Amino acid sequence: MDAIGNRTVRWLVEFVSKKYAGKDFIVFEDRLGNVRTYTYREFNDQVNRYANVLLGLGVKKGDKVTVHLLNSPEYLFSWFAIAKIGAVMIPTNVLCAAFEMEYFLNFSESTVIITEPIYVQMFNSLLSKCPTVKNILLCRTSPAYPNAQLFPNTLIMSDLTKEAATEVPEVKIDSEDDLMMLFTSGTTARPKAVQLTHANAIFAGLFGAQWWKITDKDRNMLVLPLFHVNGQFITTMPTLTAGGTLIMTEQFSASRYMEQVRRHRVTIGSLVAATATMIMNQPRHELDGKNDLRIMCYAIAIPEEKWIEFETRFKVKLCDLWGLTETLGATTMNPIDGELKRNCIGMSRMGNEVKIVDENGNDVPQGTVGEIVVKGVPGRTLMKGYYKNPEATAQTIRDGWLYTGDNGYMDEDGYIHFMDRKKDMIKRGGENVAAIEVEYVISLHPKVQECAVIGVPDPVLDEAIKAFVILKPGVKAAEKEIIDFCAERVAKFKVPSFVEFRDSFPKTSIGKIQKNLLKKEEEEKRKKG
């Protein structure tokens, strides 16, 4: 028996809500600066009300519920209510367009959508195309938002929860039952759905709280979106597990970030390179170093000079980490009590092993670059698998080792250094974008004959997206036409920033586009200015 046992998220919520009943769990600041606070007891009561609303609509164990919300207490009420009744949450990116949402709803066979007023029009346009969806539940209908009665085909959550009970019937849930499915960009044209279990969430809470030494005195700030594994497993689950306080903002604001850190007495936070850069680009303030921060977790390497500037200016240690949705977020981390190596992704967390292998899966010597692979137990310390895709699951998890598609090397001290992505991925502002996914959408344009997508350097977002397009004979198109076509079908962060029309592509002898040559051409253009 491991430390997870047969514990479930329902067990955890009820345990900590009883232990820390009168203590603040959620301190939420919306984009207008309004603050709402919920104690652990109040949080659990709201979760139970949401759960009973779902049960009243016929949602049962194993049913899929799509949650499409900005960061908010309602997001957490929805997530943990779904968990308590054994249903499965499908968290979706609020930047997604209707084209993507139609696929997510139908692939997951979602029966209920939980969303807020600004997204209702999009979901109403999809109802006739998504036959499994029975209900749209509308949250966040306070006076600060549009009148919910203007939106047809919806049920108002606040109306339903008024009469809902604060006790939830028992539901038999196993620790390895699905808790959620996250759609993630990969090497296929349409995103794969990563199955994460109750055990996965419990494990994330345990190792996160232990590794970063989070206690009930900590105030952990969440500015990254809750529809990502980062917000879920790197921030929320460790805070909940330790009985800490979650300081949550509706959206990230670089100009307000440090003021919020000071005002809410934040002790720990999580950023990515893009958000850290945006914070440093703000005007200096005499109180920048006057805060309660003890550690700042972050993912994606930043240049040495920016690392030094951040630590010096804000008087806080940066703790680099690395991981995937498939590996439950933070998988290697720098030890906060040991040597924090700059731009090094650290060591394997407890409960997993990490090694570097060659193309044949054989271990490589220290200092040699190869693929980073992670050993664990599917459904417990690794993802359970890809939903409806046993072939991709078998290809990714082999003999207990998850092949990440990321390259790195191990130094003489056992620290892992990330090098690049083996997969054709673009890292844009903390978001992973699969080039093939953008290429698929561009290929749907009636004027496009062939296309290729690559990442190009961007001073703030790490990489921007550039599309190379060959048009069909006899037609013309403008750059904006291709960009607008993509903007109507994919999330904003997947839309190309640049489009270049070409007559041909460099190709291999078997006809494969040589993206390495396209990237080399871009590098040479930039050198010439």
Residue 388 region by backbone torsions, left for phi larger than 0, else alpha for psi between -120 and 50, else beta: left
The CATH number of residue 72's host domain is: 3.40.50.980
Predicted model pTM: 0.87
**pLDDT tens profile 298-339:** 886 777 788 899 999 999 999 999 999 999 999 999 998 888
> Residue 186: its pLDDT value, please?
61
pLDDT average, residue stretch 82-90:
98
Domain assignment present for 221: no
DSSP letter at 59 equals -
Domain assignment present for 315: no
Residue 403: closest CA among 326, 301, 320: 326
- Return d(Cα 528, Cα 351) in angstroms, integer: 49
Q: Residues 133, 57: contact at Cβ < 8 Å?
A: no
Domain assignment present for 399: no
> Residue 460: its pLDDT value, please?
84
Query: How many residues can be counted in the chain?
Result: 529
Number of domains present in the structure of the chain: 2
* Residue 434 pLDDT greater than 90, yes or no: no
Residue 277 region by backbone torsions, left for phi larger than 0, else alpha for psi between -120 and 50, else beta: alpha
Give the end of a domain, one of 149, 173, 197. 173
Q: Residues 53, 161: contact at Cβ < 8 Å?
A: yes
Domain ranges, residue 443: 425-528
- For residue 159, what are its two tokens? 């109306």
Q: DSSP alpha helices (H): ranges in 249-298? A: 257-263, 273-280
**pLDDT tens profile 256-300:** 999 999 999 999 999 987 788 889 989 999 999 999 999 999 886
Q: Which residues pair with 421 in a beta bridge?
A: 406
> Residue 24: its pLDDT value, please?
98
Query: DSSP states of 277-311 as a string?
Result: HHHHTSPP-TTTT-S---EEEEES---HHHHHHHH
- Return d(Cα 496, Cα 463) in angstroms, integer: 11
* Residue 143 pLDDT greater than 60, yes or no: no
Domain assignment present for 217: no
Domain assignment present for 216: no
Give the end of a domain, one of 173, 199, 230. 173
Separate counts of helices (H) and strands (E) for the chain: 16, 27
Domain assignment present for 463: yes
> Residue 138: its pLDDT value, please?
95
Amino acid at 321: L
Domain assignment present for 26: no
Give the end of a domain, one of 111, 145, 173. 173
**pLDDT tens profile 167-212:** 999 999 999 999 999 998 765 668 899 999 999 999 999 999 999 9
Q: Which residue has the tokens 């279990």?
A: 197
Q: Which residue has the tokens 């190379």?
A: 468
The CATH number of residue 433's host domain is: 3.30.300.30
Domain assignment present for 302: no
